[in-house]
Amino acid sequence: MITRSIDNYEQHKEDIRKILTYNYGPKKANKFIDFYSSRYNKFDRSFINYRLAWSLFDDYRLVAKSGVRWYACVGEGGTGKTTLGMNISYFLDPTFDRKRIHTTADDTIKQLAEFPKVNTMKSVILDEPDDSIHPNSKKGRLFRSILGKARQQKLFMFYCATTMTDIPPYIYKKISGIFFTPSLGKGMFFKNRPAKKDYVVAQIKEGYKKYLYGIFYKMQKSKGCLNFSTSGATPLNPDEDKQYLDAKAQDYDRTIKEYLNLDSRAVKKPQTNKDFKIIMNMREEGYSQTMIAKILGVSQPRISTIIKENA
């Protein structure tokens, strides 16, 4: 039995060391405890289940050798997805803070640009991002290209979403680990195990559209998964909580105002040759008429009319 870290942290670590030594030998056990201690000693407690930490430690060593690790965390609102993402991100990268949680592609790329270009071993969270980048536009293609080339930075990318279908295809196909939060305080972790020729994540992706959340319970029964309890606390600076929540509230408010102002901006009527060229260039880059209308601040029917009149 493992002593809880909040009851006796030092005994907690010794209990873990004994179990890991018995199962994997003293060398691996001691390496893990050193890693674990480097994250949590200053708090005198841990923030994730030790079995989950052991599995993530294995992922950490994998990324150190071969590149990016993409995780998805899905579940209904209020089940603790973002908190779990923060705790996992901190365990993998103790420099992680709330400034690494992004809701747009642009902010994510700006974050990657701030990192060293190789061997950074940093964590980033995309928290239910809401982007209007068309995947076939020039910007969309560049975004996909950057995410592909980011392997050299050796990153831990964590995508929070209500459902798997909310995840863009170019990220969806990269995911090799999935967290499901069925309720607050509970979590399931599924990941591929190539050494055992077990690709459970691929099976979840294949069955999700048919079974939705039910696929997780099916895989739990047929393949097994790592079940764990989640913490409502994080090791991050509590003073940043208000700033983080304020930023989310401001983003929500901006989105509402943008939506309500769409019709009022429709009085703009780009009719000049220059306006037409801008619209056609955007069309060639893959933008839909709806997206062009949103970006230029006009109605979609107006864009359609301009295209027809100038065709």
One DSSP character per residue, 289-304 reads HHHHHHHHTS-HHHHH
* Longest alpha-carbon distance in the chain: 77
Q: Based on the domain organization, do 194 and 99 belong to the same domain?
A: yes
Q: According to the model, what pLDDT value does residue 242 have?
A: 67
For residue 255, being part of any structural domain is answered with no
Q: Which CATH number do you get for residue 305?
A: 1.10.10
Q: Provide the β-strand partners of residue 226.
A: 189
Buried b (16+ CB within 10 A) or exposed e, 271-300: eeeebbeebeebbeebbbbebbbbebebbb
Give the relative orientation of helices 50-66 and 81-92 as an angle to the nearest 10 degrees.
60
Question: How far are the Cα atoms of 41, 74, 179 from residue 163, in angstroms, in the given order?
Answer: 35, 6, 11
Q: Based on the domain organization, do 36 and 65 belong to the same domain?
A: no
* β-strands 226-229, 122-127 pairing: unpaired
d(CA 251, CA 257): 10
Question: In angstroms, what is the C-alpha Rg of the chain?
Answer: 23
Q: How many CB atoms neighbour CB 167 within 10 A? A: 22
d(CA 173, CA 201): 10
Q: According to the model, what pLDDT value does residue 280 have?
A: 78
Q: According to the model, what pLDDT value does residue 266 have?
A: 45
Q: Based on the domain organization, do 282 and 150 belong to the same domain?
A: no
Q: Based on the domain organization, do 108 and 68 belong to the same domain?
A: yes
Q: Based on the domain organization, do 78 and 22 belong to the same domain?
A: no
Which portions of the chain are predicted below pLDDT 70?
131-132, 240-245, 259, 262-275, 310-311
Q: According to the model, what pLDDT value does residue 299 have?
A: 79
Q: Based on the domain organization, do 271 and 127 belong to the same domain?
A: no
Q: Domain span at residue 306?
A: 262-310
